[in-house]
Structure 1
Amino acid sequence: MSRLHEIYSEKIAPELKKEFSYSSPMQIPGMRSISLNMGLGEGSQDNKIIQDAVQELSLIAGQQAVITRAKKSIAAFKLREGMPVGCRVTLRHRRMWEFYDKLVNFALPRVRDFRGVQDRGFDGRGNFTLGIREHTIFPEINMDKIDRVKGLNVTVVTSARTDKEGKMLLQLLGMPFIK
């Protein structure tokens, strides 16, 4: 069990149960998965960009990333159905907890002029999406070996029913929201 998962089980879950007065422990919100996504529009023209992104995302996540392909052809973007347009990876269980710990404690504080995370990324059902402009904030990325800085989206899927419950869960897990 990872360090953050132990903290969740021992301290955060009882606090959430008390705060929202749940009758059953199964009602207590928790993290279900974390999804990482890199969209690379210019990757449809150059296969090396896609391969580099898959390798870097796999390093960041600790799990092999898969290539996402276009579902429809769009003539204005010179895009045909089936062309590679990005990569993604979904983390669950131990890897999810370890990645969240690394994101909150190591990566986000390395962002330039970091003051906190906006809470506008909630979807109405307790899930939170965060956009990261530079993937170089993660400690696994070697600055000497990358040719271009890429952005990525991090989606934290929770079992919370409302945004208020989801925000409280993520705050207690260490997400630095702006007040």
Structure 2
Amino acid sequence: MIRLEKLFREDISPKLHKEFSYKSTMQIPVVKKVHLNMGLGEGSQNNKLIQDAMNELTLIAGQKAVITRAKKSIAAFKLREGMPVGCTVTLRRSRMWSFLDKLLNVALPRVRDFRGVPDRGFDGRGNFTMGIKEHTIFPEINLDKIERAKGMNITMVTSAQTDKEGKTLLTMLGMPFKK
């Protein structure tokens, strides 16, 4: 069992049960999945950029990334339907817990001038999305081998009903929200 998952099951879950006074243990919010997405607009012209991003996202996630393709043609962006525009991966179970552990305890502390994650990324249903400007904060990425830094979105889908429950869950897991 992953360290963060063990912490959740033994420590955080009973605290959440007590704090929100749930009637059933099934009401306790839990992180269901983590979705990683790299959108590369100029990837439609440069196939090597998409392949590099896919390989790097696979390294970060520990699971093979999938190429995302354009749904509509947009002439202003020189984009046709079906052209590659990014890559994505969805993590569940043990890979999700190990990624969250790595994100919270290794990657975020490596961000220069880090003052915390803004809490405005909640969607009203307890899910949280955050953006990272450089994927180089992850230890798997070799700085000598990358051509340019890429940004990524990280979405944590929870079973929480409200943003307050979701924020409490993520705070107890160790998410460093701004004060």
**Runs (4+) off by over 6 Å:** none
Report what 1:62 is aligned to. 62
Q: CA deviation at 1:118?
A: 0.5
Q: CA deviation at 1:43?
A: 0.3
Report what 1:110 is aligned to. 110
Report what 2:15 is aligned to. 15
Does residue 49 of the first structure (1) align with residue 59 of the second (2)?
Answer: no
Identical aligned residues as a percent: 75
CA distance in 1, matches of 2:12, 2:149: 36
Q: CA deviation at 1:69?
A: 0.1
**3-state SS, counterpart of residue 168 of structure 1:** helix
Q: CA deviation at 1:119?
A: 0.3
CA distance in 1, matches of 2:112, 2:6: 31
CA distance in 1, matches of 2:30, 2:123: 16
CA distance in 1, matches of 2:112, 2:130: 16
Report what 1:30 is aligned to. 30
Partner AA of 1:4 in structure 2: L
Partner AA of 1:21 in structure 2: S
Does residue 5 of the first structure (1) align with residue 5 of the second (2)?
Answer: yes
Unaligned 5+ residue runs, structure 2?
none
Q: CA deviation at 1:115?
A: 0.8
Coordinate RMSD, CA, aligned: 0.3
**3-state SS, counterpart of residue 129 of structure 1:** strand
Report what 1:84 is aligned to. 84
Partner AA of 1:154 in structure 2: I
TM-score (norm 2): 1.00
Unaligned 5+ residue runs, structure 1?
none
Q: CA deviation at 1:8?
A: 0.3
